Amino acid sequence: MNVHAPLPSGPSLAQQIQHAAQCLRGVQAGRSLTELLPAVPAALRPGVQAIAFHALRQAGLSAALVRLLAARAPTPAVRTLMQVALSLMPAVCVADGDPRYDAHTLVNQTVQAAKAERDTQAQAGFVNACLRRFLREAEALLAEARRDPVALWNHPAWWIRRVQQDHPQDWQAILRANNRPGGMALRVNRRQGTREAYQQQLQALGMGAHPVGEDGLVLDQPVPVDRLPGFAQGSVSVQDPAAQQAAPLLLAGQAWPAGARVLDACAAPGGKAAHLLERAELDLWALDADAQRCARIHDNLRRLGLTARVRHADAGRPADWWDGQPFDAILLDAPCTASGIVRRHPDVRWLRRESDIAQLAAVQRELLEALWPLLRPGGRLLYATCSVFRAEGDAQVQAFLERHTDARRGAAPGHLLPGRAGSDKQFNDNAPGEHDGFFYARLDKSAA
């Protein structure tokens, strides 16, 4: 997303930098942007979000630059203010789509932001001196900073090592893709019309889009959802092309009778459940362990004109919710590190710890073990995670197959890597352009 200099009548750049720095400080303290952004004043929020996203994508480099510029470690408030400013500098913003600001304007506005906050007022002169030194010595400072892999790739050191280990041929492409914003992809509700007809509606409004997958369109330029024709009436949903693969992979290759029992075990916010219902007449159960997220499932289904049995329940404890009747198919989009969707959630890489991988892999294993007995003989389970780490993908599935002789692996692409890096060729033939990182494995249960 481009960040353009605001009009004089709008929020000042200094205000946006100030709030973006507060968001960055919150992430460094362990809070997610999803939690932090609602506290930003509504008029400032779009610009602050764009700047904060960009600052997080450059946080490894900007932190290294601050260390080079400051003889003593500044306070967190001063450090994050400088990080935001440095991430926006023209010498740093070299890729297409990066923000574009005049360097001297940035220095001026950052100093104004420093003066406007009690925690940074006394250090406004220090901020000014450091940023002006960067303007004079940018080339040398950047070369020195990028000797650190964390600064070069803008990921934690453990994350870089793990991706190198898991994807030795593609690790650089994965990390580069993570530092580019994801496009805006739509899923057309085939119950309300065809993808081709919706594409024509977009074109009539001056919005270019190209097909992706079986039901998707990728917009040439992102737009607010209220500008999408028929969005409020359920004609279309926003969903990444990789996530759009779940429904076709689960339903592929057989005719599903009306009323077939299907479980979406970790369903919130409901995008994959809705896609299943758009494609088949199912008796769909949609579970989630979070009551507030269950409300989002209800809201999404209502907008799309779809019906499911939504349950606030822990999928790992079937005794609390299961009626004893086996399911024909199960979708398990399991809790994971979200390492595949950092294009859209750039704070994730800085919030995760390496120990989270093993902890979440244990949760995934428990869910697989709890749900497999609920599947009828001859049924299928689609295991999915939005992760690029093999412990949450291939390794998890191989271990499951070793434990269960009544399971075999069906047709599914395995690891889909972000930005098409090393991803399944057949998938990419049907999904031109970039997509999030995902993992899919279909586990078929023997009929005997």
Instruction: Provide the CA 340 distance to its chain's centre, in angstroms.
Output: 7
Q: d(Cα 434, Cα 432) in Å, to the nearest integer?
A: 7
**Catalytic-role residue among 130, 266, 336, 386:** 386
386 classed as catalytic: yes
Tokens 């279909």 belong to which residue? 442
Tokens matching residue 250? 């689960």
Tokens 């789509």 belong to which residue? 97
For the chain, the farthest-separated pair of C-alpha atoms sits apart, in whole angstroms, at: 76
Q: What is the 3-state secondary structure (H, E, C) of 179-232?
A: CCCCCCEEEECCCCCCHHHHHHHHHHCCCCEEEECCCEEEECCCCCHHHCCCCC
CA distances for 448 relative to 257, 370, 379, angstroms = 21, 20, 11
111-125 b/e with 16+ CB inside 10 Å = b?
bbbbbebeebeebbe
Instruction: Provide the CA 220 distance to its chain's centre, in angstroms.
Output: 19
CA distances for 327 relative to 69, 262, 307, 315, 411, angstroms = 61, 6, 17, 13, 20
What angle in degrees, to the nearest 10, is found between the helix axes of 103-115 and 124-145? 140
- Active-site residue list: 386
